[in-house]
Structure 1
Amino acid sequence: MLVSDGLEIRGGGAVSVDTESLREAAGRFDRMIDDLDVLQRRFGAARAELADERRFGWAAVGAASVFARDLDATIVQAVQIAGDLRHAAAVYELVELDAEHAALSARGDGAGVTAVERRRAELLRMFPGAEGEAFIARFDRAVMWPSYLVRQATETGSELGGIFSELGAAIGGVALGGATLGAAAIFGVGGWGRLSRDARLEGEPSAIVLRSTPPPPRMTTAPPDLASAAARMPGAGEARVRVEKYTMPDGTEQFAVYIAGTQSLGVGGEDPWDVQSNAELYTGNRSASYEATLAALEAAGAKPGDTVHAFGHSQGAMIAAHLALEGLYDMATMVSFGSPVEADVGADTLAVAIRHSDDPVAVLAGGGHETAVGAPGSFTAEREAHADSGVVDATVPAHSMRSYAESAALVDASGDPRVATVHEVFARLGQAEGIAVTEYAAARPQPPAAGRLSPRGGEDAG
């Protein structure tokens, strides 16, 4: 569904077209054709009577003939449209089936693979030419999904090269645009940003020091929508994780966790939300930021199996994805902003991904999974956030949390029925009888400064 400001909301996966909607539209054309056939027969009888009554004149007979010809043409056109809709549905379903076949094969699901192959053969019997078109659709997705970013890179390269000469502008545009397309293709083919359902983090837990920080005095009720949830993302101050503990009317507890994106360009420094943690998480290893998030949830009272709703930006979205996959908590909802990964979280987690087509960090997800992920009602919302290109793109404005908060507001106002599903999650949290809010800062333990004496320093040191 394409809404205002270039925002596209889709169910996820390789195809943003609902094949059932196409078939339903074809069915509506079938019913219209039946009605037109009835009208054609009735009008044919009336036309014959009109021809017999010459007193009405030849003008009336001529007008009736024109109408009959137009009616015939309309029926032929409606039949063609209904057929085209069914053919298009078959093409897009083949794309989905091929992606599902690959996923089932990777899981070793023989029965699922057989069922997909049976359905695929059935479609090809009915629509023999659909296979080639499905291949073209898959190729088009593989090449075109990073098109906005490639365009901006080309324009930026041209602008930089133009400082020197017209030839420099041409070379700069081709070089930077080509490099961007090549990098996107590598991540798309490599699939490192597409996390399978059985993906688990490796490595030993990192040592972290966790401490609570005073939460802001505002926002002590459940967020009513995605924009309000985005506004709660920590990172502007000391806090890196915000946990809201909801006591529900039945006495159970639910938790909402908001996880910041990267805050430091350092590697292995005091702040766990740094480049090192990014690299560790993206390559499937435990990070200090992940351990800090687990510690924050535990400190806020979350126990294994408790219901958790996770919201994350960038690195925080990677952490949220792994929280869902690891299975320590009952991850009911996962909302990501500008995530470098897309996780196949399973049918019990409502997955909402908000990403920008011109965000280079989102490119690391390789276009996401070819099949839809998450529970019914899950969706991906995407738009171009920063259409202007140039040297300003070096600051990556499309990846900022402020930009994603603006997109969240557009999603809330879109009117798409899938958005109502996540709004219902907020409404249920709003029924809580009590809310406790805690924000946490975290740090890696740092070694003693060089030259500092140990507790056993001096001549007595062994």
Structure 2
Amino acid sequence: MSSDGPGLDDGRPKVDLDPDWSLIGRLPEVWPRTDSGLEIRGGGAVSVDTETLRHTAGRFVQAKIDLDSIGERLGSLNNMLWWIGDRAWEAKTSAQTLWTHLLEVRREAERITFALQEAAAVYELVELDVERRAATFAGDVAKTAVLDAQMDSLRETYPDAWSKALGAEWDRAVMWPSELVRQATETGVAIGGEFGDPAATVVGAGAGLFTLGTAAGLGIAGSGRLARDAKLTGAPGPVTLTAVPPAPTSGAPASLAGATQRIPGAGESRVRVERYAMPDGTRQFAVYIAGMQTAAIGGDDPWDNKSNIELYTGQRSESYAATERALVDAGARPGDPLYIFGYSQGAMIGAHLALESEYDTRTLVSIGSPVSAEVGAGTLSVTLRHTDDPVAALAGGGHVAAVGAPGSIVVERVADTATGVDDIAVPGHQMAAYAETAALVDASPDPRVDELRGVFDQLASAESVEVTEYSARRTDGVVSPSGGGAG
């Protein structure tokens, strides 16, 4: 969407401010931009495969050994040529030049080896620090002591690694919302510029600093990060669940974009459950959970802001209860394999299902989620998060260390780089924008997407698919599901 501010060029406001007011006004031009296309990371905010780093360092160690062997032979050759004297002057000069280059390459190999090993230590310290805080919080003295010993050993071997690890965590905690801050500042400058240079500075600075402070606070506090043992509390009110005719589909979804199209949106449906009959006679389930449908706080529709607040603050909502009952009504039983696809509020519901339910949650796909769940090693975690989505920003940048099964990914991009009053509609959070991101993931050649592709290959092997969709209403009494549909 384009901005309504003055002097537009590629969607960015150009306000000619008086020099006395130019600092804040020019902040958007120098603030770090994150609109560099699709970014796919391996599971966490600060997530690096330390084993790969060490393996690569090991190859450089071997290269250094090989270079030493070549150096010994070249040294022998230099000695031999020295005694020949003038008769082999050119060969002697060439051998000496080669020897000099060899020493330079050997020193570079040593430098790269240490840098890779130190980088592995930095990211391992980040992960160990996260584990240590969790162990300390849980009162696990023995585990804390073990982690302290591991961290001390790394710090002793790599003295600079700890400060770099703290820097990596701090940078992520404070700088991850840079695109939101940039857009908020630009929008403030453009809107304030309608009333003069001082207003542009004040409104721009206020919007940018408020966004930075709020987002950084969420990142440091970890408000939207759900620990592995997170549990919803309280009892939800009564809710009526009614099966409604499902949207027409054919078979299982073949791609991430195809799966996003099955998440309920407009219409009565709030939860869609697909039951797969597998070739080996077993059954598997997929659940697709809608995002917020009304901005009301309380009312007939449980997919509202009341449920948003409850879920974000750790309370059991009627929308969560309705989703649980939908799965049971569709035939899901404890231990059944489950694949979860949720958008916004639906992603919060899906996160707690993955953490709390007795299903065998194989996959959790979170789209525009206000929370980030620390699912276990048996659950493939796939997170789609726009860096200009203030709803997704409530997750505080996500978990620092990688979560989920091998192959888990976090996907980020800027959905809408333009700024202006149209941002009130939060274009970065719209499902249509996330559907575009899903299509980009499907088209990506990045091998880290292969595990997700394997999920859809698995579902495609189903011999039949039974579909039921449900609407939900808050009521004064509990009413059993009625009606139904299949596809």
TM-score (norm 1): 0.90
Match of 2:246 among 197, 202, 215: 215
Corresponding residue SS for 1:205 = coil
The reply on whether 1:133 has 2:170 as its aligned counterpart is no
Confirm or deny that 1:385 pairs with 2:381. no
* 2-structure distance, mates of 1:21, 1:280: 41
Contact 1:271–1:442, Cα closer than 8 Å, also in 2 = yes
The separation in 2 between residues aligned to 1:325 and 1:421, in whole angstroms, is 21
1:375 is aligned with what amino acid? A
Asked if 2 retains the 8 angstrom alpha-carbon contact of 1:260 and 1:312, the reply is: yes
2:389 is the alignment partner of 1:330: no
Pairing partner for 1:165 from 182, 193, 196:
196
Aligned length: 443
Q: CA deviation at 1:141?
A: 1.6
1:24 is aligned to 2:38:
no
Identical-pair percentage: 54
Distance in 1 between residues matched to 2:88 and 2:376, nearest whole Å? 72
Q: Cα distance, 1:375 vs. partner? A: 2.2
Instruction: Tell me if structure 2 keeps the 8 A contact 1:14–1:96.
Output: no
Q: Distance in 2 between matches of 1:184 and 1:409?
A: 28
Shift of 1:52: 4.4
Supply the RMSD in Å over aligned alpha carbons. 2.1
1:237 to 267, 270, 284: 267
Alignment of 1:11-160 (within 5 A): 11-53=42-84, 58-160=89-191
Aligned to 1:260: 290
Cα-to-partner distance string for 1:220-269 (whole Å, 9 max, x where unaligned): 21112212111211112221111101111222221100001111111212
Match of 1:179 in 2: 210
| Among 306, 315, 324, the residue aligned to 1:276 | 306
Instruction: Please tell me the residue identity of whatever aligns with 1:84.
Output: A
Partner of 2:441, secondary structure, is helix
Give the equivalent residue in structure 2 for 1:434: 464
Alpha-carbon deviation of 1:56?
Answer: 5.4
**Residue of 389, 411, 421 corresponding to 1:359:** 389
8 Å CA contact 1:270–1:446 kept in 2: the answer is: no
1:226 to 256, 263, 267: 256
Higher deviation after alignment, 225-234 or 384-393:
384-393
Change (3 A) 1:69 1:272: same
Contact 2:386 2:412 in 1 (8 A): yes
Q: Look up the match of 1:451.
A: none
User: TM-score, with normalisation over the residues of structure 2?
Assistant: 0.86
Q: What is the CA distance between 1:417 and its match in structure 2?
A: 3.3
The residue type equivalent to 1:436 in the other structure is E
Structure 1, unmatched stretches of 5+, are 448-462
Q: Report 1:357-436 matches (<5 A).
A: 357-436=387-466
CA distance in structure 2 between the partners assigned to 1:173 and 1:42 by the alignment? 67
Contact 1:262 1:274 in 2 (8 A): yes
SS of 1:335's equivalent in the other structure is strand
Q: What's the CA shift string for 1:117-137, capped at 9, x where partnerless?
A: 111111122112322222222
What's the counterpart of residue 343 of structure 1?
373
CA contact (8 A) 1:220 1:437 kept: no
Structure 2 partner of 1:450: none
DSSP-derived class of the 1:6 partner: coil
363-372 or 50-59: bigger deviation: 50-59
State the alpha-carbon separation in 2 of the partners of residues 329 and 339 from structure 1: 21
Secondary structure class of the residue paired with 2:395: coil
- 2:252 matches 1:193: no
Higher relative contact order (CA 8 A, sep 6+): 2
Secondary structure of 1:239's aligned partner: coil
Cα drift, residue 373 of structure 1: 1.9
Using the TM superposition, give the Cα deviation of residue 6 of structure 1 relative to its aligned residue in structure 2, in angstroms: 2.6
Report the Cα distance in structure 2 between the residues aligned to 1:408 and 1:12, rounded to whole angstroms.
17
